[in-house]
Structure 1
Amino acid sequence: MGISADMRVDIDRFWSTIEASAKVGQGRPGGLSRLTLSDSDREMRDVFAGWCKEAGLTVSVDEVGNMFARRDGRDNSLAPILIGSHLDTQINGGRFDGIAGVLAGLEVLRQLNDAGHHTKRPIVVVNWTNEEGARFSPPMVASGCFVGKYSAAWTKDRIGDDGTRFGDELERIGYAGPDVCKAGDIDAYYELHIEQGPILDAERRDVGIVVGGYPSHGMRASFSGRTAHTGPTPMNLRQNALVAGARWLTSIDDIGWEYAVYDGKATAARLTAWPNKPGILSDTAEAVCDVRHPDLATTKVMAEKMRRALFESAAKTGCTATIEDEWQWGGDIFDTNLVQGLREQAIRMEFNWRDIHSQAGHDAYHLALHCPTAMIFTPCKDGITHNNEEHCEPEDFVAGLNILFHAVIGRADRD
């Protein structure tokens, strides 16, 4: 049985999975705190796997915990199409960030089951591990491992804030899978995501077709000083790592304001220190920051200023600084043919759409390095996200889900 052009997904069924997810790992009122590889992450993974098996999908897990729910095609020798996002959340996360993308993929395959249609190519729904990076740094680490950016051994050796090791937590929750984390041949990758910005909501758009991502550069750095008594130690003899980190992060914020008029952004995201107690200077600190701008050359300038500010901040406090980790993503990385296919579906179904750039990081950024990739943005109220007040209504997903459905089917069935 074929797929008619006017077929639509079951938005109520999709919404029921969103509501069920919202009960797992609840945080502040209305939100979620489902950190990766936590007990609540395991619970949600189990729920998702159950839904997939009920839909007749074959579920597999790789060595870094990425989950793959596969629906075979008529010709399984052909490379599969992947639809993915993530089920983990920030510590004060919402109910839709990442989650909507995974469950949208599930709804696409459920709708195919309802229609009794078997696509030519296999289709796989993916839940990527640790997209948020809220517990283990860097973010999007498992999708990065999948495309060869990081090794599996390096990924499993990431240490969380609570001192736990990524690989050990995978084992503990039962999601250290047997499969090698390696992409192989992929025909295309699609990711649906809430916008995480105010543009679609403010313009009352049904959907955004993502044409690229803001070039971004992130950095995690450590500072080394010396403990000393806060009372008798003269200012000129102090080596306070906490102050070094604080100086760096305020410099980062200044960089953001310097480029804000051109939509540049710089984020002082995190600062930890030890001992971090009254009466004693801290001898170690660690900080995380990032810069981003719609123009790649400008992002590079901002990143260089960020780097210089790091060592200047350390020198001013008598400390030393070390760059522990760096990451960058974004740019015009999405496949023009896939993007045009999404536009054509939006036009055909008469949705109010626009081209849009992503300003946040997504697993799709890594996949775009390996295979043709495209993203769809759906509206969220006032662009509030990474917050328990993140809010969407079922109708916010109608356009995105149906565009995704027909674009994926068209890609999967092409000659």
Structure 2
Amino acid sequence: MSNLTINAERLWDSLMETAEIGGTGDGGIARLTLGADDARIRAWLMTQTTALGMEMVVDEVGNMFATLPGRNPDLPPIAMGSHLDTQPTGGKFDGVLGVLGGLEVLRTLRDAGLVTEAPLMLVNWTNEEGSRFSPAMLGSGVWAGVYSRSEADARCDAGGESFGAALDAIGWRGAAKAGSQRFAAMFELHIEQGPVLEAGAVEIGVVTGVQGLRWFEARLTGRAAHTGSTPMPMRRNALLGAAQVIAAVDAIGLAHAPHAVATVGFLEVSPNSNNVIPGQVDFTVDLRHPEDAVLEQMETALRAAFELAAGSIGLEGRLTRISKVDAVHFDADCLASVRLGVERAGLSACDIISGAGHDAVHTAAVAPTVMIFVPSAGGLSHNPAESTSPAECAAGTQVLLNAVLAHDQLLAERRRSA
């Protein structure tokens, strides 16, 4: 099995074929969760897996699990996959490469007439992007027990339609209980969504983990007043306080280099008029680091900076943490299988930490998990111009094949020696 080679042309053709489902005039994809195009891509995937003789199970939040039998039915499956939904301005590779890469692995094995010891599973997670229904990674979150089905069903999009109603409307709510489909390990292939691999001319990123993150909503309230008639010493300028916090956020990120990132990405000023001193500012803060202990230090520094800015200007302030995701460290055995897969493919590789969240964050809490990255041009994603070359897609999929075969051998050997 170690000499198997994936069909790079077939993989690329599948990527381009599926890009037409929800395709946009600028070359991107707008395939939002639980819309008509999501239903179409799900039906497409069902057709492809059925042609391979796989059994498809869909759970109660629409997660799709297609299983190909192995020689030993007593072994739990080895899973591959990612997601097929996109951002409103999505590209052709984010998420879909992980699903179609897994599909190509299965097609390659079928063509060669080879059967693994453990069953193999292909997974499409529902609502990874969170662009229509928040939070992101909702389907895998319900699967992992982070959210309940009722919590997921109650989430509404901007137009007021609920997740549950939209899922029922497209006919992709399955009978299986979320979490009932289990696997021995999960391998997720994905574009990097960052510039590290490209900058280093490295072909494969061996993803050792995912950064932890903490998100905050902040409000500073002062007093709106006329810019011409209010003396400088008597002002309570909420925007000035926000500016001090923004500068502090940047400093916090730099103080915990090289892995920390800290960002204010949303800012809303009220009343937002040329000749009125801002009386209220709402903004968000995003802190990330691969170590939870460092994130705790960053949060402490943020709260201190927020209080200092508010107090120095006489503002009222509220800083609320709205999300806390602990850092994830991927499984050592899965990492070893990926490293062996890279070696067998004869490719260059480096260890890398994911700065973005993925379904692998939730699966890692339940089963051994790992990710494989391939370059994305300019680090671009969530953009119609998102680009990963045919050779890069093929390289990542070849590593996926090699890694899954190596892990299958590992699990079989452990089973025999137990």
Cα–Cα, structure 1 residues 299 and 322, in superposed 2: closer, same or farther, change >3 Å?
closer
- Match of 2:298? 302
TM-score with structure 1 setting the length: 0.84
> Could you say what secondary structure the match of 1:391 adopts?
coil
Match for residue 216 of structure 1? 212
Instruction: Sort the Cα spacing of 1:295 and 1:168 in 2 relative to 1 into closer, same or farther, 3 A.
Output: same
Deviation at 1:158, TM superposition (A): 1.8
1:390 paired residue number: 386
Alignment of 1:283-298 (within 5 A): 288-298=284-294
Task: Tell me the residue number matched to 1:374.
Answer: 370
Equivalent residue in structure 2 for 1:172, among 169, 172, 181: 169
Shift of 1:18: 0.6
Distance 1:301 1:340, change over 3 A: same
Superposed, which structure 2 residues align to 1:6-405 within 5 Å?
6-27=3-24, 29-183=26-180, 185-213=182-210, 215-219=211-215, 221=217, 250=246, 253-254=249-250, 258-259=254-255, 261-270=257-266, 288-306=284-302, 321=318, 323=320, 325-331=322-328, 333-405=329-401
The answer as to whether partners of 1:223 and 1:244 remain within 8 angstroms in 2 is no
Task: Figure out how many residues of one structure are paired with residues of the other and give that number.
Answer: 408
In structure 1, the residue matched to 2:416 is none
In 2, the alpha carbon distance for the partners of 1:146 and 1:184 equals 8
Change (3 A) 1:356 1:238: closer
Distance in structure 1 (CA, Å) of the matches to 2:243 and 2:36: 37
Q: Is the 8 A contact 1:249 1:268 kept in 2?
A: no
Per-residue deviation, 1:102: 0.7
Deviates more, 1:293-302 or 1:357-366: 293-302
In the aligned structure 2, how far is the partner of 1:153 from the partner of 1:284?
Answer: 36
Gaps of 5+ in 1: none
Q: Distance in 2 between matches of 1:168 and 1:220?
A: 30
Aligned counterparts of 2:138 and 2:306: Cα–Cα separation in 1: 24
Describe the shift of the 1:49–1:318 C-alpha distance in structure 2 as closer, same or farther (beyond 3 A). Answer: farther
Tell me which moved more, 29-38 or 299-308: 299-308
- C-alpha distance in 2, partners of 1:12/1:132? 28
Q: Which of the two has higher C-alpha Rg?
A: 2
Query: C-alpha offsets along residues 199-255 of structure 1, whole Å, 9 cap, x if unaligned?
Result: 211222221111222x32233648699xx9999xx9999999xx7997798468535
| C-alpha separation in 2, matches of 1:222 and 1:42 | 38
SS at match of 2:263: strand
**SS of residue matched to 2:357:** coil
Inter-partner Cα distance in structure 2 for 1:45 and 1:20: 13
Following TM superposition, by how much is the alpha carbon of 1:73 offset from its aligned partner in structure 2, in angstroms? 1.9
Conservation of the 8 A alpha-carbon contact between 1:79 and 1:122: yes
Provide the rounded CA distance (Å) in 2 between the counterparts of 1:48 and 1:350. 31
What is the rounded CA distance, in whole Å, between the counterparts of 2:268 and 2:60 in structure 1? Answer: 30
Name the SS for the 2:264 alignment partner: strand
Q: 1:77 to 1:22 in 2, by over 3 A?
A: same
Report the CA distance shift for 1:224/1:200 in structure 2 as closer, same or farther (over 3 A).
closer
Q: Which moved more, 1:62-71 or 1:42-51?
A: 42-51
Partner amino acid, structure 1, of 2:71: R
Contact persistence 1:147–1:369 (CA under 8 A):
yes
Which segment is superposed worse, 347-356 or 108-117?
347-356
Q: Is the 8 A contact 2:220 2:282 kept in 1?
A: no
Q: Residue 157 of structure 1: CA displacement?
A: 1.6
Letter in 1 for 2:371: M
Q: What is the RMSD of the two structures over their aligned residues, measured on CA atoms?
A: 3.6
Q: Is the 2:218–2:285 Cα contact (8 Å) retained in structure 1? A: no
Q: Say if 1:59 and 1:210 are closer, same or farther in 2 by CA, change over 3 A.
A: same
Contact map agreement 2:220 2:241 (CA 8 A) in 1 = no
User: Over residues 57-76 of structure 1, what are the superposed CA-to-partner deviations in whole Å (9 max), with x where a residue is unaligned?
Assistant: 22221111111111122232
Distance in 2 separating the partners of 1:337 and 1:44 = 33
How many angstroms apart in 1 are the aligned matches of 2:162 and 2:317?
27
Shift of 1:159: 2.4
Secondary structure of the structure 1 residue equivalent to 2:190: strand
Structure 2: unaligned runs, 5 residues or longer: 414-418
Paired with 1:96 and 1:102, the residues of 2 have a C-alpha distance of 10
- Point out the more displaced range, 361-370 or 245-254: 245-254
Distance 2:27 2:216 in 1: 31
Q: Which amino acid aligns with 1:190?
A: F
